[in-house]
Structure 1
Amino acid sequence: MAKAKKKQTQKNQDFSSYVRWFWKLFIAGILFVVLMFLLASWGVFGQLPDHTILENPKTNLATEIISSDGKTLGKFYFNDNRTPVGYDDLPQHLVEALIATEDARYYEHSGIDARGTLRAIIKLGSGGGASTISQQLAKQLFHGEGSTNTIGRITQKLKEWIIAIKLERQYTKEEIIAMYFNIYDFGNNADGIRSASSIYFDKEPNELDLKESAMLVGMFKNSSLYNPREHRNPVGTRNRRNVVLAQMEKYGYISETVKDSLQKTELGLRYSPQSHRDGIATYFRAYLDGFMKDWIKNNPKPDGEKYNLYGDGLKVYTTIDSRMQKYAEDAVQQHMPRLQAEFDHQNTPDRNPTAPFLELNQSEIDALMKRSMRQSERWRHMKYDLKMDEEDIIASFHKPTQMTIFSWEGEIDTIMKPMDSMRYYKSFLHPGMMSMDPQTGHVKAWVGGMNYKHFQYDHVKQGRRQVGSTFKPFVYATAIDQLHLSPCDELPNTQITIEAGKFGNPEPWTPKNSDGQYGGSRTLKSALANSINTITARLMDKVGPQPVVDLVKKLGVEAEIPVVPSIALGTADLSVYEMVAAYATFANKGVYTKPVMVTHIEDKNGTILYQFTPETRDVLSEEAAYVTVKLMEGVTEGGSGTRLRTKGADAYRADYREIITGYPYEFKNPIAGKTGTTQNQSDGWFMGMVPNLVTGVWVGAEDRAAHFRTITYGQGAAMALPIWGVYMKSCIEDKDLDIATSDFERPTELSIEVNCENYDPDENSDSNMPDVEVPDELDF
């Protein structure tokens, strides 16, 4: 009995020893954890963010380009295409999907989930990790992916815990969720939830539906693995989305019926890349890049540092209307392939051995190609970046290489000599188009070309080409302003010679009418409508070239214009940008308004950094501007722009090339405009105006030696006018845009008669028109 009792006592002592050792180890473990926390917080294992950094975590924020109707046109960024949103901009089901999948007890802990951590320790991680949303945010913000060795992982986990606790003290639960959605990289330049919503579904975050939210939350596990694009892992992404939906059902956020229904659906991806060369308004964004860099150079931060266009999260509010921009780009996409098909049809090797050039011999073509080679980006890169010898560079242009080239049917992967690809690209016709509100100067649409990825030269502001007959309204406006002429006044349609020496003219100038027809007389309205060169020359003879050039300069044209009579027929090279601003002055009652592209700029906190100031000046009297507009209305009523009034469906050949016999526009509203066609049909123009919108369109090839052989397709009415017609049709049909279809406003005091039915030349005493005897027959 005593022996058994002694044995029991021994067992009790042994058990007590185990208990003591357990508590010693437990306390030591706690002390060790506390010590490790202290050491980590003291920075022994690496620097931790202080209060200031926690309050303002350093993340690169993209500069956002915002349209006048509140849409994102694009962004400026290097690596991080991130634009933050607030918690209130997140749909509730998106937040619920995150919590159900990543941190079910999110609202119950203060940064560390003790139950989850204990479970992870006991199961050695086999039951899943225990990182809370706060810990994951800490990892994303302050130390990335972490170490690959055990010691490193432990110390980084400690730092995660400490930072997570600090974040929970610094921010509300809602703010932490918003920060986590904003910081995550969803792949494909989709940094943050706003970019991801736009790129994968073409939506703002608050527009996401439940299954879309579930897919994006599913990507938090691994955005590279669970990538919805077809060439990546759409099946795995769908399966992962369904896991998220199952988690939401498990925690009571959705019903089983909703879960089962949504799990059967497809992803519904609407992939909309946001690269600098894709998307809407690419040419305008390229212009804006230069504008912003100039602004940043001259407008430092209060502390003297320069703003970072690609990381400071600026917001640039522009005048571009995303709807009108889309209509403009759609119009180009509709017309240009048809026009190009006809151009290619006329320039087959059988029909044109020197295709795509005309009127050039082989030596001239060789010289042109050699010059283009030396002006190319490929040449610049090889010569200045790679420091290659010129002989080697030239040889490289004649070696076949793999490349992707543009076509209207889509990109083509091919093997081609760079020199051959240059010649191939020279066969393409290019567009330039700008649309502007004449009263405010706000530029509403800007199409600098047809594909920025392959053609980066901007034909709105960079390019200048001969304007042809679109210059004539400037001559007419000068004559109206100086001589008080009426559109109903008549001049003889006979050839005129301006002698050498007059107006500094170096040699005699005798312009010819494009149709070769002379005789009788024409009213000014009829003469402008039908682009009668002799009438324009007579007006130039009356006013002289200097007043015309002075007027054009006041209308905002910066290009050099020679002061010679021949400018009357449009020999000057001007840009679409300059032409639209100049024409807008006529619609704005003679007041020039400088085009505006940016209304204001804000920093990431909403502080206004820049506010535009309108630049205007009086150029013409309201009466002279109105009379010029009435003159140009004649172009669409009975001149070269009459097809805008016609009815009838487009007719096409079997290969979809357009036969220019009529256009289905059938506009009924007043339209003032002017077509322009340059020598040898190298450039086609159309300038068109309604009271609150002025739009200019140019079409032509890169080299003037590439052009249509005849005027059938090579005139402005065939090359450029259809783009204007398609664009304006869409704008007018969109009632939200409120495009005016009314008459141009008539001045309260108008002394010049514009209605030729009421015109009495004897009463027009201020016309200063000479008495000219017009012979019945002319012999030239």
Structure 2
Amino acid sequence: MEAGAETYFGKQAKDLTLEEAALLAAVPKAPGEYSPTANPAKAKERRDLVLDLMARTGFATQSEVDAAKVKPIVLAETAYYQPPQALSPAFDYPVEFIRQDLEDKYTTRVAQTGLAVYSTINVAAQKKAYEAVRTGLRWYDKSHTSWRSSYDAIPTSSNNGAPTQQELASYKYPDWYRNEYAPGRYLMGLVMKVDSARDEATVRFGNYTATVTAADMGWGRRAPRTEFKPGYLAYFEIKEADKKARRLKVELTQIPNVQGAMMTLNAHTGEIVTMIGGYDFLTNKFNNAYQAYRQTGSAFKPFVYTAAIEWGMTPDTTVSGAAIDINGWEPHNYDGSLSCGDMPLKTALAHSMNIPAVHLLQTVGIQTGSQMVRRFGIKVPMAPYLSSALGATEVPLDQMVSAYSAFPNKGIRVEPHMIRKVLDRDGAVMQEWERTTYKVVSEYVALTMVSMMRGVVQGGTATRAQALGVPLAGKTGTVNDHTDVWFIGYTPTYVTGAWMGYPGRKKPLGNDMVGSSGALPIFLDFMKDFLKDKPKEDFSRAPSMPEDMREMYKQRQRELALERAQMTADEQDNQTDQNPNPSAIST
């Protein structure tokens, strides 16, 4: 009621007149059909019906109702703005995700008939995730890019390209519909006038205005008289808001070119707790959380290590760090080295060593690795090359987060979902979520991987995550040329993944940008708030290796020993063939 009163009439519910209150009561029956902006005649007809009911039930006298019915519908300016999908920008991406899902299942007509949708999104967590992603992207934009002086201009029919005063006064930016003008909020403003003599600009934000001086131009430090033209849409942070005078104090900033995404999943239930698909839905509706297929870098390695553990290896099994040269392809570690010392699996994973990961995939086999990836619910087939051990396969964030959820959930992956229940406008259940689970690996394999991935936090590439002070496991990821950075981490219950990269293109973020410096800070900013009111959990210990797995591993070791012996014999035979006089060989 409060939101409707503010949107349609620009006032609080307690200040509504009789006819205004009746209209708000009339609309929910069929919002599309009785919209006072789209169908004013039908809206008045429905409003008058509600007024008659109020008279019959004693909520108002007949004379009050008769007087109210004569009055036309008069709405505030905010009622005519094109509304965003959600009343708060933090929920734009999940609301659009749900809308598309409903339209796919029930058609657009049915989806717009007043359905009641119960979602899994945690309101407080979603708001924090929204701020964490945006803060991280603004930090990157300010520290790694330059001021762009790039502005969109509103449409105009004027021949000289400058909008008329009428066009400026009537323009409505969608985000103004929300009518949120609080300090700390970032909002698009329309430049109405530029005073060159005073070096200031008048900027409108819906029903609010601000005077922007040189001191308000932010880190770009440009002059208003040269930076702005009437009709420009510029991005500002609200510093102060005077609701009575409808005046704002603002500071100029810019929307980052870089994009990011974050998603949190309950590993036990499959409920999507948060989903952030980008910096700003109104300027970029593409949802990077599930629509962006990106190379994953070392965040892909846990799937290869899982195959190795299931194959019979243990965290202490030594893996080779010898140089690899396959038809000219020579993988290297992050530091550029083409080889490294042999080391235990747990050390190689914790420090994200590339060459040992390739050796592991070579040992278990590309087909085995590919099958493992598919079992984790990754819908994209793993590329049939050893480079896949280093994250060459392009996978969206939501599939990666869902795959990781099998680790803390003891090898079981629960199908992710954002909708718990859907009711039609009469209250009948149209859809209700039914739990779907997949056995990915055994409890032993899953919890052994958890212990190794905790090493990433305890002494590997994500030691900064220890600041959370809770048991945590996860994996960083950095793609070649630093085009994408990842971190996917989890507690015993929740899995959160964060990604950053330029949209739709392979553009380097900078040599200093890796998973631990780009994605991990966003993860930490969110998780420190998200976990503060939740009980501290510890991971279960892995059970003993199953006997059949132990025997299988022994058999494979024997087979490998025979293969190595045969290879050595073959090499010796080749040397003999190339040297017909063995005694002539110098020793």
Amino acid at match of 1:627: T
Q: Residue in 2 aligned with 1:473?
A: 302
Q: Paired residue for 1:433, among 244, 248, 262?
A: 262
Question: Which string of whole-angstrom CA distances, capped at 9 and with x for unpartnered residues, describes residues 693-745 of structure 1?
Answer: 001111001243432331x2x21111111010011100111x2xx3x532212
| 1:134 to 1:471, Cα distance in 2 relative to 1, 3 A | closer
CA distance in 2, matches of 1:536, 1:694: 23
Q: Paired residue for 1:724, among 509, 512, 523?
A: 523
Q: Residue in 1 aligned with 2:572?
A: none
| 1:681 to 1:587, Cα distance in 2 relative to 1, 3 A | same
User: How far is the alpha carbon of 1:548 from its aligned partner?
Assistant: 1.4
CA distance in 2, matches of 1:741, 1:139: 46
Asked if structure 2 preserves the Cα contact closer than 8 Å seen for 1:485 and 1:767, the reply is: no
Question: Which string of whole-angstrom CA distances, capped at 9 and with x for unpartnered residues, describes residues 522-578 of structure 1?
Answer: 221111111111110110111111111111112211124322211110011100011
| 1:748 to 1:702, Cα distance in 2 relative to 1, 3 A | closer
Query: Is 2:389 the counterpart of 1:568?
Result: yes
User: How far is the alpha carbon of 1:508 from its aligned partner?
Assistant: 5.4
CA distance in 2, matches of 1:533, 1:328: 31
| 1:415 to 1:551, Cα distance in 2 relative to 1, 3 A | farther
Query: Is 2:333 the counterpart of 1:513?
Result: yes
Asked if structure 1 preserves the Cα contact closer than 8 Å seen for 2:319 and 2:360, the reply is: no
Q: Residue in 1 aligned with 2:94?
A: 284
Amino acid at match of 2:305: Y
SS of 2:98's equivalent in the other structure is helix
Q: Residue in 2 aligned with 1:450?
A: 279
Query: Is 2:524 the counterpart of 1:715?
Result: no
Amino acid at match of 1:526: T
User: How far is the alpha carbon of 1:605 from its aligned partner?
Assistant: 3.0
| 1:486 to 1:135, Cα distance in 2 relative to 1, 3 A | closer
Asked if structure 2 preserves the Cα contact closer than 8 Å seen for 1:485 and 1:768, the reply is: no
Q: Residue in 1 aligned with 2:443?
A: 622
CA distance in 2, matches of 1:741, 1:608: 37
| 1:642 to 1:137, Cα distance in 2 relative to 1, 3 A | closer
User: How far is the alpha carbon of 1:163 from its aligned partner?
Assistant: 6.9
User: How far is the alpha carbon of 1:600 from its aligned partner?
Assistant: 0.8
Amino acid at match of 2:85: H
User: How far is the alpha carbon of 1:223 from its aligned partner?
Assistant: 5.2
Query: Is 2:299 the counterpart of 1:462?
Result: no
User: How far is the alpha carbon of 1:410 from its aligned partner?
Assistant: 4.6
Asked if structure 2 preserves the Cα contact closer than 8 Å seen for 1:315 and 1:604, the reply is: yes
Q: Residue in 1 aligned with 2:485?
A: 684
CA distance in 1, matches of 2:141, 2:301: 28
Q: Residue in 2 aligned with 1:5?
A: none
CA distance in 1, matches of 2:381, 2:26: 60
CA distance in 1, matches of 2:537, 2:20: 63
For structure 1, the 5+ residue unaligned runs are: 1-61, 63-71, 83-90, 103-130, 146-156, 186-219, 233-271, 298-305, 350-355, 357-377, 382-395, 500-506, 646-665, 753-760, 774-780
User: How far is the alpha carbon of 1:515 from its aligned partner?
Assistant: 0.8
Query: Is 2:57 the counterpart of 1:172?
Result: yes
Specify which structure has the higher proportion of strand.
2
CA distance in 2, matches of 1:721, 1:514: 18
Identity %: 25
CA distance in 2, matches of 1:644, 1:135: 52
Q: Residue in 1 aligned with 2:536?
A: 741
| 1:750 to 1:223, Cα distance in 2 relative to 1, 3 A | farther
Question: Which string of whole-angstrom CA distances, capped at 9 and with x for unpartnered residues, describes residues 574-614 of structure 1?
Answer: 00011001111112111121111111101223221111112
| 1:609 to 1:277, Cα distance in 2 relative to 1, 3 A | closer
SS of 2:496's equivalent in the other structure is strand
User: How far is the alpha carbon of 1:749 from its aligned partner?
Assistant: 4.5
| 1:557 to 1:494, Cα distance in 2 relative to 1, 3 A | same
Asked if structure 1 preserves the Cα contact closer than 8 Å seen for 2:349 and 2:456, the reply is: yes
SS of 1:587's equivalent in the other structure is coil
Q: Residue in 1 aligned with 2:84?
A: 275
- Cα RMSD after superposing both structures: 5.0
CA distance in 2, matches of 1:494, 1:164: 80
Amino acid at match of 1:576: L
CA distance in 1, matches of 2:295, 2:435: 29
SS of 1:557's equivalent in the other structure is coil
User: How far is the alpha carbon of 1:429 from its aligned partner?
Assistant: 1.0
| 1:140 to 1:538, Cα distance in 2 relative to 1, 3 A | closer
CA distance in 1, matches of 2:515, 2:27: 61
CA distance in 1, matches of 2:498, 2:362: 29
Asked if structure 1 preserves the Cα contact closer than 8 Å seen for 2:54 and 2:60, the reply is: no
Q: What does residue range 43-58 of structure 1 map to in structure 2 within 5 Å?
A: none
User: How far is the alpha carbon of 1:313 from its aligned partner?
Assistant: 1.8
SS of 1:339's equivalent in the other structure is helix
Q: Residue in 1 aligned with 2:459?
A: 638
Amino acid at match of 1:730: D
CA distance in 2, matches of 1:140, 1:568: 53
CA distance in 2, matches of 1:315, 1:643: 42
Q: What does residue range 148-187 of structure 1 map to in structure 2 within 5 Å?
A: 167=53, 172-173=57-58
Q: Residue in 2 aligned with 1:547?
A: 368
Alignment size in residue pairs? 457
Q: What does residue range 364-383 of structure 1 map to in structure 2 within 5 Å?
A: none
User: How far is the alpha carbon of 1:140 from its aligned partner?
Assistant: 13
TM-score, normalised with respect to structure 1: 0.51
CA distance in 1, matches of 2:400, 2:28: 51
| 1:81 to 1:579, Cα distance in 2 relative to 1, 3 A | farther
TM-score, normalised with respect to structure 2: 0.66
User: How far is the alpha carbon of 1:747 from its aligned partner?
Assistant: 4.3
| 1:533 to 1:471, Cα distance in 2 relative to 1, 3 A | same
